[in-house]
Structure 1
């Protein structure tokens, strides 16, 4: 940074101010004269700084009025198209994505110095690590046996009660006895799938879907029936209804209705109710994975699908990995009419979850500290998401499309015609940039023209340069197609 020209350092200073929201779109920037006085620089340096901000889309000059923060560049981006409904396959395929995913993950992990724009965990500084550490120390002083006692299989009474109370605050009525602690969302979904299905059975999933879910189905010997998901309203209830009539061995539907990964969409309440009603009539389980709901920016509480469950159809699987601390690997589940079987499977598979982590989560969530953290976290993610969207608008070529999700840390981006995500992944990695290619979010090749990017880092000059490079690579690929 010290080796950069002074005008570049000053431009970066103002980029940070704008990205943080201190200066809003349409606000007047300091005049050239005020800029010179404030920073003690020459006229030439001041003008160069403003031109650099103008060239990168952060401000604009108005005749005889000065410089102003530029209106959101994202307005020039087209929105994602609605998903097409492909014909249902005669026989849903067994999930078989592991080799494709492993290639991407292994190559990305080997590039340790590359800038990660594809990972779905936020910067460590955005999580309340010091407060959680202080709370853990205090709890251990009060009760040292938290490190030596295994505790009940379903979770400690304090944890189960805290989770039941939390659920009640957003419309889900469960008792502490309904709550089973888990080692995070994947553990819960794994238990749910094993409870409702046997190898060879068919499971309906959203398309596109989180690649980890498809790998999980593969590991359990289950067939994956991909149901198209809208980038605005989520899983197609209409397509699911056709599938339920066509496939009598369809045992469950796995959904992420709030900030779906990778689409970032939130399913409307009417469609959540329709999903529960449809699956209840057919005797099919709804497995609701909920890693991101707490990150939705909304005036009113966004409810899980479980809020419409009246007969135990929904197996509800919330977790803390994305919203509180990735290293905690803690969540819980309410398994509805499959509770007894899930409890048996949990006893056979993982038995106990760390008593200390349960105690920390119970107290942190119950004290109000969790809500204060979430308010800050959502705002920080919003700033980073806005900065990322604006950079895409500045640097990616015409034909790029995305939806602006109502929260969270992920963006699903449609590339211009002819650009393939696998080839872009390779080219970007060669330039020190990690992205998530769309090809790993489906058993098919329907999403090879998409990428997933994460808004998990503070937007700075390094990010600006990375998006400039990505834009050039996409432009070159589109020209060669």
Structure 2
């Protein structure tokens, strides 16, 4: 950046922009306040404000209400984006896809090897660190709740599976998203894993086929296999999400196709946002072909946009959409609280829930109801999104600095992780084992599919604070990847 001529505020903006560009002012650092700028440069209030606003307009700073301005740094690293051609399976493969076999064992081996390793930097998970949650508010509310209901943890509720207060709170939450759900249609679950298990148990029989996005979250693959179902991978585009063309072929070639599972907003691991037109079309497609559409809406609160996207459920006119949301990553991981609204399968899922796990604890439901319904929750999300954005950009910058030529990634518009394509010759399963020996955990692409299609990809977490140790971990990963690429 060259020094700017012109008004003083432009010169000062250029001065601080160069400091950010050279990493003297690092991403996430707090900028001097308006008063400090006035004192330091002997300028007026107007000039100080113009300087900060110009830096914000240029993308160098972000304003946090009632807190101040913080350095954003370089928003987009100098890397090519991952191309859809690298992510999509050939359409012809849909007709001849075979069921998953052994995915549970393969993923369990990877998870267990990571658990036993001496991990110093964990880039494999995707849950925000404790420092990103409002623990003071949660603790205060939990204590108040137990004081109001001292027998809450000692009493048993033998009939209703979901507390009425939780139902009312989640119905209002759904209404804000454009979904009209009656409180009695809300069913509390233990996170999203139970919700997905209940949904697929209700709509499928052993041997039936479930269509999933490719790549997809490995926990879903494990769950499908554990139910004795067959999983069909459907190509997923970064621009529009799951391929309707491939789904149409699947309907014509897979007579036992019963359900489609999607994460429409910030798809895991791609970070895709499905456009409204595609959401509406997918809802109509499943209605036409009498398919259950299981929607995982757990990541939509992390989308960075002036308006939150609409869930697919808001287009559901026939009850074919089973809506599931986990509050694990937005509320409190320790509660494992989730909920679902199952449309035409509500009564069956309610029966299955009671038969399999009885009631979800009332304490976690009531705490979630108070938290989600409070203004503090939206303030928490407003603070959380920019902090996660900074951490994603820091990770992207580190990858751009340290990884070998040919590495590609795409910065998603929100979320907790990055999907990284490695150069030719670098296998993520090998990188995973080598990184563990260095005390670094990553998620290899092989975990997100039952094919070797993503062997040259890794998912790295941006959910934890970026530190010098984190940067060093990316440097080590880059060195290991470069050694593979050179062979």
- One of 105, 110, 113 as aligned partner of 2:111: 105
Give the aligned partner of residue 89 of structure 2. Answer: 85
Contact 1:114–1:429 (CA under 8 A) maintained in structure 2: no
- One of 88, 94, 103 as aligned partner of 2:100: 94
1:145 maps onto 2:151 in alignment:
yes
C-alpha distance 361-476 of structure 1, shift in aligned 2 (>3 A): same
Give the aligned partner of residue 375 of structure 1. Answer: 382
C-alpha distance 375-248 of structure 1, shift in aligned 2 (>3 A): same
Q: CA deviation at 1:75?
A: 3.7
Cα distance in 2, alignment partners of residues 297 and 310 from structure 1: 28
How high is the TM-score relative to the length of structure 1?
0.85
Q: CA deviation at 1:85?
A: 3.2
- Deviations 1:86-110, CA, capped at 9 Å, x for gaps: 2224353134311221121111111
Unaligned runs of 5+ in 1: 1-10, 25-29, 35-57, 59-68
Question: Number of paired residues?
Answer: 428
- Deviations 1:411-466, CA, capped at 9 Å, x for gaps: 11110011100001011111111110000110111100100000012212111111
Cα distance in 2, alignment partners of residues 449 and 155 from structure 1: 44
- One of 330, 336, 345 as aligned partner of 2:337: 330
Q: Which runs of 4+ in 1 moved over 4 A?
A: 14-17
1:173 maps onto 2:180 in alignment:
yes
- One of 187, 195, 217 as aligned partner of 1:188: 195
**How does 1:320-469 map onto structure 2 within 5 Å?**
320-469=327-476
Give the aligned partner of residue 64 of structure 1. Answer: none
Report the 3-state secondary structure (helix = DSSP H, G, I; strand = E; otherwise coil) of the residue aligned with 1:228. Answer: strand
Give the aligned partner of residue 265 of structure 1. Answer: 272
C-alpha distance 457-315 of structure 1, shift in aligned 2 (>3 A): same
Cα distance in 1, alignment partners of residues 437 and 234 from structure 2: 34
Q: CA deviation at 1:17?
A: 4.9
Cα distance in 1, alignment partners of residues 373 and 463 from structure 2: 26
Report the 3-state secondary structure (helix = DSSP H, G, I; strand = E; otherwise coil) of the residue aligned with 1:18. Answer: coil
Report the 3-state secondary structure (helix = DSSP H, G, I; strand = E; otherwise coil) of the residue aligned with 1:205. Answer: strand
Contact 2:221–2:231 (CA under 8 A) maintained in structure 1: yes
Cα distance in 2, alignment partners of residues 141 and 73 from structure 1: 47
Range that drifts further, 362-371 or 148-157: 148-157
- One of 206, 211, 220 as aligned partner of 1:213: 220
Unaligned runs of 5+ in 2: 1-18, 41-59, 61-70
Give the aligned partner of residue 117 of structure 1. Answer: 123
Contact 2:28–2:72 (CA under 8 A) maintained in structure 1: no
Give the aligned partner of residue 3 of structure 1. Answer: none
Cα distance in 1, alignment partners of residues 214 and 364 from structure 2: 34
Give the aligned partner of residue 210 of structure 2. Answer: 203
Give the aligned partner of residue 5 of structure 1. Answer: none
Q: CA deviation at 1:207?
A: 0.6
Contact 2:95–2:250 (CA under 8 A) maintained in structure 1: no
Cα distance in 2, alignment partners of residues 124 and 73 from structure 1: 25
**How does 1:16-165 map onto structure 2 within 5 Å?**
17-20=25-28, 22=30, 72=74, 74-82=76-84, 83-86=87-90, 87-90=93-96, 92-151=98-157, 152-165=159-172
Report the 3-state secondary structure (helix = DSSP H, G, I; strand = E; otherwise coil) of the residue aligned with 1:323. Answer: coil
Contact 2:300–2:308 (CA under 8 A) maintained in structure 1: no
1:312 maps onto 2:319 in alignment:
yes
Cα distance in 1, alignment partners of residues 288 and 122 from structure 2: 44
Cα distance in 1, alignment partners of residues 423 and 75 from structure 2: 18
Report the 3-state secondary structure (helix = DSSP H, G, I; strand = E; otherwise coil) of the residue aligned with 2:127. Answer: coil
Contact 1:253–1:284 (CA under 8 A) maintained in structure 2: yes
Contact 1:95–1:224 (CA under 8 A) maintained in structure 2: no
Q: CA deviation at 1:232?
A: 3.3
- Deviations 1:373-403, CA, capped at 9 Å, x for gaps: 1111111111111111111111112211111
Report the 3-state secondary structure (helix = DSSP H, G, I; strand = E; otherwise coil) of the residue aligned with 2:151. Answer: helix
Range that drifts further, 235-244 or 171-180: 235-244
Cα distance in 1, alignment partners of residues 126 and 461 from structure 2: 6
